[in-house]
Amino acid sequence: EHVGRLVAGRKQNKLDDVDWRPGSGGAPIIAGCVATIECELDRILDGGDHEIVIGHAHTLTADDPGEPLVFLRGGYGHFRPGLDDRAANSS
């Protein structure tokens, strides 16, 4: 979560304080990630105050048995296989 907050800000050089290495296509692979997905850039679309980046995934690495961190609907959480929105909202 700490690294997610570092790279989400408006700082110019977002990876200055992050331990990372270049992936096969040069994109950063952040140390300690549970999994990585490397993609080839297809296009970038205008999304108003954001850009929407479309890519084709070509390499998936999932070496760490830890639980992934997810950013969704403005907050951080954890992915739990088998739990969908209906189950989460019924409790």
Q: Nearest-CA neighbor of 46 among 58, 54, 35?
A: 54
Contact 36, 23 (CB under 8 A): yes
Mean pLDDT of 77-82: 72
Q: What fold, for 2-89?
A: Pnp Oxidase; Chain A (2.30.110)
- Give CA–CA dist 31/21, Å, rounded: 8
What predicted TM-score, i.e. pTM, was given to this entire model?
0.61
Q: Is 39 helix (H, G, I), strand (E, B) or coil?
A: strand
Every domain of the chain and the residues it spans: 2-89
Is pLDDT larger for residue 68 or for residue 26?
26
Contact 14, 7 (CB under 8 A): yes
